[in-house]
Structure 1
């Protein structure tokens, strides 16, 4: 299949796009009737194809955020849309009280992709993380023999694993955790990338280490070489489970199927989400071998919509796309080109860039406008990006993006830095 399929595009342009009256009215209407837990950029998107979207103002924008990696295969991928349409008209939900004809294929497909024995499907990434945490604690009690109620899981500072009470309880982001306590105990947080800190945090009650192979929300922070292999080694030495949150970093984003692959590391538990649903619907999963997964018994965990027929159909189609290797190769090749372009940005305006594959964090130099301001300038130049923190912008374009579009986007970025 072709990796680019949009049939119409307004063409590249340097003109600045103002916020139209129609866009402003729609934003005001949404502001009146929705919770204010987001502060989106002033654009209202109506359609999308590949790496491009079109606003209700009729203007095309290049999407270099890709739904925080949920849209690895672009907007409206024809293979995924065809599978979803067919399944919608056939069967969408049975609940897990009954079996359906898409379930076994999906579980087998994801298990094969991960090299694991068993898969537990859920919906959102946060649900998958919670599932992995429960799985690790249950394994700690049933297999490792940790006293009931004493299991501990080591996490990393700067992490982002979702927004549940348990997860924000071990977050180091004050916006994420402020005002939501008290939080569940049983977590120890250490500096990301420091094996000595991890080793010091391990006790006789530790059952697992939860880690992002690359920290996305923190600004695409890549750990030091050998860190993931070191985490694997410490887990082996102490009889712990390594839980790899590959929700943003996995499924082709970094140039390999999983970010752990860059160090030839195989975690005990893969936590997947975002791109597993092809940008069509929430699909997540936890994959592990039987010696870990089988500590869960009927009635101990579940989800009404987890593993529904529509999710399974789309998820299996996503696995088939990844098994071609096309998207991993595109991420490697275009990622190399992206980082070459970013390295040419003026040093007095960009402090440093980092990342892997088609994923980059761009730290603005001291004295520059906020990352939000630069993203607003990019929006006016028809590029959709997102600030990770006040001084950092993250870039994660769909893996179907063209080389010319990457060039154009970075040119717009350089222009936006100038005001």
Structure 2
């Protein structure tokens, strides 16, 4: 018996902060969540699985969307025609989506209640699936503790959308411990919510498949679903099958010591070529970080526009596959910053902290709000005029320019 475990589909997740000049690329990324789900159904059919379990966040949000709901019903109907059962729990993103009740789904699909755990018995394959959806709003209860004892004589799958012990990149929902799951004596815990795939335990199996398709530059690497094979009531294989239609990468290119644009381009080309190789036949969407101490930082690569142009031109020269540049982040340091680099936080240590803040809007807002007036007076006029001291988030779209301005201050021996 084989089954597929997927989670965090986030159908039609909106594109956030995507600034691709390539319209075709933007359209393909916009369709990626649906195309990946179609690949999931194709895999279920080609592998002849008995069951597909979906561990939450099928939809990206609670707002009803008839087009997406009809797409979902069409794909689930393909599974129904092949006699493949589908078990679904709702997660924090789709717990309130009315389409789960307003639009009828094929008879092969079961959405579990949020009121209490329910069990679906599949006699034909000897499987019992027990699951509970999340309710709307915060869920701080340990739902796993209320799961009933497993059914004797069946391979028991538990289906839950949970943060487990917690993750810095995800909000807490239905928290529980690995010990809580192990104590329930299920054969396989099919979890969702954490977007990075991981086999947390093999005794019993506790698995996060990760999300089906990366949605932005922080969701990098292969994404897909877990294919599980069971023989004589035991898991004999549990493997991630990549199903993403585009793959996100965050790349750092060290231009330290580079003295010519040709040398810089060669280094960028080498990193991009290796990324394409790793992506296989699928397009690669890249965020490129240019770092290192080089005279180019105060010369031809001084501005963010020049840095992006160099990366985009280099990417366009690659003929072996599709690679789309989402953003170029400049962290180049001119040689004259040698002295300021020795000043602790006012050098590289300081910019390491700033780099982390730039990836976290909430933390960046808190830091900027604490001493914004003094910083505002030292910024270049275009940034200063766009900045509202009472709303530091107004500067977020210009964060890369802010980063560059701070570097300039330090290179002059000033402190921000």
Larger radius of gyration: 2
TM over 0.5: no
So what's the TM-score if we normalise by structure 1?
A: 0.31
**Higher normalized contact order (CA 8 Å, seq sep 6+, divided by chain length):** 1
TM-score of the superposed pair, with normalisation by structure 2: 0.31
